[in-house]
Amino acid sequence: NMKVCILGNSLSSLVLAKALVNKNIYVDLWTSKKTNRPDKSRTIGISKSNVDFFNKHVINIEKISWKLNKIEIFTDNLKNEKLLNFENSNYELFSIIKNFRLFEILEKSLFKNKYFKKIYQSMTPKILDNYNLVINTDHSNPTSKKYFNKKIIKKYNSTAYTTTINHDIIDNQTAIQIFTKRGPLAFLPVSMKETSIVYSLHNNLKIKKNENIEQLIRHYNFRYNIKKIEKIASFELKSLILRSYYHNNILAFGDLLHKIHPLAGQGFNMTIRDLRVLLELIEKKLNLGLSLDSSINYEFDKVSRHKNFVFSNGIDLIHEFFNFERKYKNNTISKSVQFIGKNPLLNKMFTNIADKGFVS
């Protein structure tokens, strides 16, 4: 029997486990942590093509998704003029999902599955030999420290603040991103009366108290009649690209493999695109009657590494553009982006890249 080991108890490890058990592959998920539930204020954005893939190959997420058919982008430098506008009246551009809801439905589904087992203890290197393939999503286990410690890290000197605002009921299908003087602020609808907030603030603009964050959210909000702002959570922002994708039969995956700035909501989409590649390679092996082995890791590296590198750097470039404008109080870049965005072909190209990544 084919047996895969997954290290870690993150959202990406559960998604991966579910996709594999759907193919009747035995999965042991090893975790030393009893609980690793996502923060209630965190959300993920999933692009249209990735939602379709998810529904078909992982689990149906229609009931927990909130569909957006419009994305509006503003910048302080252009006052109230719109910088960019993406919309599609025929289908949604993006779906927003609460992390903990996805975590719950994946856990519930996996625990009922005979191909899945969760083991609550630390992994020892000897045990790894019992598996065809080991997929590591966890920063903190010994395997990561031994084989996956070489990475390109960029610290943004910023903190991301996340919360949810409760507001009067409105037709809430437009995501809004504002490049403010202090950093990018996103309003991401999750229902007709709830909207998730991600505000990435530069650390040198000292904002210590939650009240200040709340004031800033209220200051930039022009759409909602806010009733309540939930508890604010925060985390330090950095991007990360792992130098080696695998070691023998151990493959790095999810947040261990790459982390990007949240300004474009693309982090989880990168993981789903990686999953697509991995499943295709696994399927090829199974269809040929071959067992899963380290050749999958080599193939995965060959297909994914350059795409992930280009995509990560693209997101970083967007961040740097607006950071430059913020520092030098110059709106030349914004004016150029606004001009480019008005070209229907280029607008469509940007929308496609956000949806599908760089498809070769």
Nearest to 68 by CA among 84, 91, 100: 91
- Tell me: pLDDT of 10 over 60: yes
Instruction: Report the SS3 class of residue 87.
Output: strand
Q: Are 276 and 53 in contact (CB under 8 A)?
A: yes
Angle between helices 332-341 and 344-356 (to 10 degrees): 90
CA–CA gap between residue 116 and residue 132 (Å, rounded): 15
Task: Tell me which long-range contacts 285-292 makes (C-beta under 8 A, separation of at least 24).
Answer: 286/2, 286/23, 291/2, 291/132, 292/2, 292/4, 292/25, 292/132, 292/133
What is the structure's pLDDT at 324? 73
> Tokens 């009922």 sit at which residue?
112
Span 287-303, average pLDDT: 94
CA–CA gap between residue 96 and residue 62 (Å, rounded): 11
- For the ranges 57-66, 76-85, 199-208, the lowest mean pLDDT is seen at 76-85
Instruction: Report the SS3 class of residue 359.
Output: coil
CA–CA gap between residue 168 and residue 194 (Å, rounded): 9
Span 111-129, average pLDDT: 88
What is the structure's pLDDT at 208? 56
* pLDDT tens sequence across 128-156: 888 999 999 998 888 898 999 999 999 98
Nearest to 135 by CA among 214, 47, 253: 253
Sign of CA pseudo-dihedral 325, 329, 332, 335: positive
Span 7-18, average pLDDT: 95
CA–CA gap between residue 218 and residue 236 (Å, rounded): 23
Tell me the residue type at 305. Answer: R
What is the structure's pLDDT at 360? 45
* pLDDT tens sequence across 198-233: 999 988 765 655 558 999 999 999 999 999 999 999
CA–CA gap between residue 349 and residue 148 (Å, rounded): 35
Q: Are 133 and 292 in contact (CB under 8 A)?
A: yes
Q: What is the mean pLDDT of the chain?
A: 88
CA–CA gap between residue 254 and residue 123 (Å, rounded): 18
Overall pTM > 0.85? yes
> Tokens 């949604």 sit at which residue?
92
